[in-house]
Structure 1
Amino acid sequence: MKKYLILFACLLVQIASLFAQDTPSFIKDSLDAYVQKALTDWQIPGVAVCVVKDGKVVVMKGYGVKELGTTNKVDENTLFMIGSNTKAFTGTALAMLAADKKLSLDSPVIKYLPDFKLYDPWVTKQVNVRDLLCHRLGFETFQGDFIYFDSDLSTAQVREKFSRVKPMYGFRSKWGYTNAAFMTAGEIIPKVSGQTWAEFLKEKIFAPLEMSSTLALTKDITNAGNKATAHTVAQGILKKIAYGHIDNLAAAGSISSSINDMSHWLMAQLNGGKYNEKQVIPAGALAQTWYPHSIMGNGGHRYNKAHFLLYGLGWMLQEYSGRKIVSHTGGVNGFVTSVTLLPEEKLGIIVLTNTDANRFYEALKNEIMDAYLGLPYRNYSQGYLNAYRENEEEAAQWLKKMRDTIAMNRPSTLPLAAYAGTYEHNVYGKMTIALENKKLVARFEHHKGRFATVEPLGGNNFLATFNDPLYGIKEWPFSTANGKVRSVTVTVADFIEFTPYEFYKK
């Protein structure tokens, strides 16, 4: 009997040894120290990390705190806003409806939304459901987002304004990230299922995947118990900010979730749509979302071999070190996150952070991925941090130059009072500039509570500093003619939108 007990004990030791060999040393020995250092280096209050391998959770851990200035620790059930990682859920929902023959991904959008319009009437008729889900409508990345993002516009109003934004490129000629297209895709769901986008996700995805804490809409996070607070870093200072209100674009980015709940999503993705032996997502629907639809670029990697960067239906697709990578990232007020799948390795990685001013959410993903692929340790976090600090230093020098210029009191082309008044953009609507305590202040019709202090740099150039750091600090040029102000070119932080807006004085 003792002989068999000894043999059994040896077998257990061998199994444990095999598991240890399968789990990279970075995960076993270095992960905690790596994350803890990053919390300080990047000024991140809290991080949540999950690694799924071969259908099992290898890592599920929270680090740091939910809110700056508190001792409330992040745990596996803490909710973070996941931003554009929502898009994979929306793409999956539409693919599931197609699998159930409720719609066709190749049918024109106007079949389901007769009032759907884009700038070009011909394009309006040609756009199909797939086009909405793979960013190939011809818009520049983020084009129009300043109009919609965190505004007081309803979804119906966003749709109307979206129809009047002129794409910068030809239809299906170029990949361009378009949040309003995913919003539109979400509006198809009630037309064919009788359920809102949020209701469909809760019943068909969240409930069967036991994602019991996950919230579909941003309006619900305020009342949630175990939630992370939104933060940003502005001019080197970490600060709390308000949650974003983006339910008018819900299907593009409004979900809040935890690493515990998201681990179930990864398990289903890596198991052909099955969770707990139940087929939650049809395998064909999952395959549709992973199928390349748009070319983003040629790909590449600083250290290792990588080729091609493509887009499916809510997922980014690339080849990296001989493996297919299915991934996405998300960024919304106070949060940046990443979700990554390596199907051939049966590996899934989730990184959630509660600031919007870090690249650690990508660095840690890359570190874990390389560890499992047997690639050399690169210390991505330090490399990204060095680049981030260089950019911040350049931004600080630029801002100092602007502030020094303002202090020189260079005269503007016209008296400050001449720049005050009502301005209008043909799609956004109205902006007012008023003299308040001898300073110009710009306020926007659809962004209540947000304003920019507009200070003269000399001539017709002014520095606009938003009270909300998410919108940034930008140089705004005015145009004048015959002693009158004609217009102003308004720009905001690239996190919101790259493209400029010309507001004309009324």
Structure 2
Amino acid sequence: MKKLNFSFLLCIIITSITYSQEIPKFITDSLDIYVNRALENWKIPGVAVLVVKDGEIAIAKAYGVKEAGSNDKIDENTLFLIGSNTKAFTGTALALLEHEGKLRLEDKVVEYLPEFKMKDTWVTKEINLTDIITHRMGYETFQGDFMYWTSDFNEDEVIEKFGLITPKYDFRIKYGYTNAGYAVAGKVINKISGLRWEDYLKEKIFRPLQMYRTVALSVDFAKSENVAKPHSIVDGNVVVLPFEDIDNMAPCGSIASSISDMSHWIIAQLDSGNYKGESIIPYKVIQRTRQPETIQGRARHPFNKVHYNLYGLGWGLMDYEGTEIVSHTGGVNGFVTSVTLLPEIKLGIVVLTNTDQNAFFNMLKWEIVDAYLGLPYRNYDNYIFERVKMQNEQRAQQITAWKDSVSMNLKPEINLSEFAGMYKHEVYGYAELKNIDDAFELTLEHHSKVKGKLEYIGNNRFLCTYSDPLYGIKVFPFEIENGKVKSFDLYVDDFIDFQPYKFIKK
């Protein structure tokens, strides 16, 4: 195995430092060492870090490269997909329309989209615009995402399929992170404004904030210049992932931006919506997006005091050592990112990375927050790295055990050929298993690029190794009844969806 040497890849760009403000020693003295170490530990090709304080860029630094193994260095204008940090832009767009008197966030969805349906007819009539973007519709976190993620369903089909899924919980009872709700929001924005979601953002937010490099759609990101390539870690190695079209759910996670452009968004967020002396986003809109709507769950932090953990319009809301934090993270197709605001001290932090297998993007944020709040240095990255390393080792051992079961050449209670055939999920559609030697090839009706190799491991279970590493390596249990295959449960990596999907044999 070739070990990547990230030390020579270090590239630092300081676009602006305001010396009149005091920058914590962690940033001036230790940040470069801290980040450079993380590049090697987590095998991250590139990182971009932004800190805004008191309306000025305190620091903007880029480390590493756009693509592993290259010398093409990241700079302050390099685009990264920001994933679910898109949601704050979508929430702001809805709040802007409310401010303009074109809708109320308490309005029912069916007032604008009469065709919209949920599984429960009463919920269909009652669900409002706030419900769909604050994760309180009754779904489990990520429920349904497998069906939409890199599939050929268009945005209308996503909304239709979304409404056919049976939520795991009752309506408005429990927080469950629901990406597809933002697809519905994008459709409402289009219906009310007459502009497609991406065009509305461009007209109302990107252009006024001079975010000229920022693009709203993943297809435009793939065609742009100076972009970071997506990466993942497979069998301990960094691999470049293909650019994927995720625009069927664009309003939940398809924006791509740079730390240079994101600095404009952060400055406006910390200055009542103003940028360069002009009001771009009315302060009432900023306040509305930060109004708590849903309880996420019990707030936790390994070292310091937190009390509440809430959700607004595309923003997570919490207290931290007596200070309000407004933040979100994003993970999508080879990227993980974080955006953090401490409005009371006018501090904003953005961390962009081009792998999806690191926790560093969030740990660095906490290190910077603590430094500005005068809290003790904790080395969060080392703390979490050791725990993730242990989890990864346990996961690798489990996969090895499964593969050992394959090599034992176990036989099912029925003829192996009985597992071949067509299967159907009530909402998704069809999956097919084709017998190839002693294994099966899985094909999925709406994921033409994703294949799976199924190998028998005993107890009516098959080990599925997906062709796309994002989908993982999972075990599918099959149900046998009266000597016949009845169904199987399909699983994908937790990064995509936690839920099993039952496919019935036809």
| TM-score, length basis structure 2 | 0.96
Paired with 2:18 and 2:170, the residues of 1 have a C-alpha distance of 57
Give matches, 1:295-444, under 5 Å.
295-444=295-444
Q: State the match for 1:96 in structure 2.
A: 96
Paired with 2:88 and 2:251, the residues of 1 have a C-alpha distance of 10
Q: State the match for 1:75 in structure 2.
A: 75
Q: State the match for 2:49 in structure 1.
A: 49
Q: Offset of 1:413 from its aligned partner?
A: 2.0
Paired with 1:285 and 1:166, the residues of 2 have a C-alpha distance of 33
Conservation of the 8 A alpha-carbon contact between 2:61 and 2:76:
yes
Paired with 1:309 and 1:191, the residues of 2 have a C-alpha distance of 32
Give matches, 1:449-468, under 5 Å.
449-468=449-468
Q: State the match for 2:270 in structure 1.
A: 270
Q: Aligned partner of 1:82: which letter?
A: I
Q: Aligned partner of 2:483: which letter?
A: G
* Structure 2: runs of 5+ lacking an equivalent: 1-16
Paired with 1:160 and 1:132, the residues of 2 have a C-alpha distance of 14
Which structure would you say has the larger Rg?
1
Change (3 A) 1:51 1:17: closer
Deviation readout 1:83-107 (Å, 9 max, x if unpaired): 0000000000000010000111111
Q: Please give the root-mean-square deviation of Cα atoms over the aligned residues, in Å.
A: 1.2
Paired with 2:19 and 2:481, the residues of 1 have a C-alpha distance of 77
Deviation readout 1:50-70 (Å, 9 max, x if unpaired): 000000001111100000111
Q: State the match for 2:284 in structure 1.
A: 284
Q: Offset of 1:19 from its aligned partner?
A: 3.7
Q: Offset of 1:17 from its aligned partner?
A: 12
SS of 2:477 mapped into structure 1: strand
Paired with 2:245 and 2:384, the residues of 1 have a C-alpha distance of 29
Paired with 2:234 and 2:424, the residues of 1 have a C-alpha distance of 29
Q: State the match for 2:253 in structure 1.
A: 253
Deviation readout 1:309-346 (Å, 9 max, x if unpaired): 10001000000011000000000010000000000110
SS of 2:119 mapped into structure 1: coil
Deviation readout 1:5-63 (Å, 9 max, x if unpaired): xxxxxxxxxxx99846x210001011111111110010000000000000000111110
Conservation of the 8 A alpha-carbon contact between 1:416 and 1:440:
no
Q: State the match for 1:134 in structure 2.
A: 134
Q: Offset of 1:349 from its aligned partner?
A: 0.1
Paired with 1:345 and 1:77, the residues of 2 have a C-alpha distance of 26
Paired with 2:469 and 2:300, the residues of 1 have a C-alpha distance of 32
Deviation readout 1:360-400 (Å, 9 max, x if unpaired): 00010000000000001111111111011001100011011
Q: Aligned partner of 2:205: which letter?
A: I
* Residue 228 of structure 2 is aligned to residue 228 of structure 1: yes
Deviation readout 1:399-452 (Å, 9 max, x if unpaired): 111111111111112222110100000001000000124421111111111111
Q: Aligned partner of 1:192: which letter?
A: I
Paired with 2:406 and 2:169, the residues of 1 have a C-alpha distance of 38
Q: State the match for 1:113 in structure 2.
A: 113
Paired with 1:189 and 1:385, the residues of 2 have a C-alpha distance of 41
Paired with 1:324 and 1:490, the residues of 2 have a C-alpha distance of 41
Q: Aligned partner of 2:289: which letter?
A: T
SS of 1:402 mapped into structure 2: helix
Conservation of the 8 A alpha-carbon contact between 1:411 and 1:459:
no
Conservation of the 8 A alpha-carbon contact between 2:18 and 2:58:
no
Q: Offset of 1:235 from its aligned partner?
A: 2.1
Q: State the match for 1:497 in structure 2.
A: 497
Deviates more, 1:352-361 or 1:277-286: 277-286
Q: Aligned partner of 2:328: which letter?
A: H
Q: State the match for 2:479 in structure 1.
A: 479
SS of 1:306 mapped into structure 2: coil
* Structure 1: runs of 5+ lacking an equivalent: 1-15
Q: Aligned partner of 2:74: which letter?
A: V
Paired with 2:422 and 2:378, the residues of 1 have a C-alpha distance of 53
Identical-pair percentage: 51
Paired with 1:31 and 1:74, the residues of 2 have a C-alpha distance of 17
Q: Aligned partner of 2:36: which letter?
A: Q
Paired with 2:466 and 2:308, the residues of 1 have a C-alpha distance of 38
Q: Aligned partner of 1:349: which letter?
A: I
SS of 1:163 mapped into structure 2: helix
Paired with 2:138 and 2:243, the residues of 1 have a C-alpha distance of 30
Q: Aligned partner of 2:100: which letter?
A: D
Q: State the match for 1:10 in structure 2.
A: none
* Residue 141 of structure 2 is aligned to residue 145 of structure 1: no
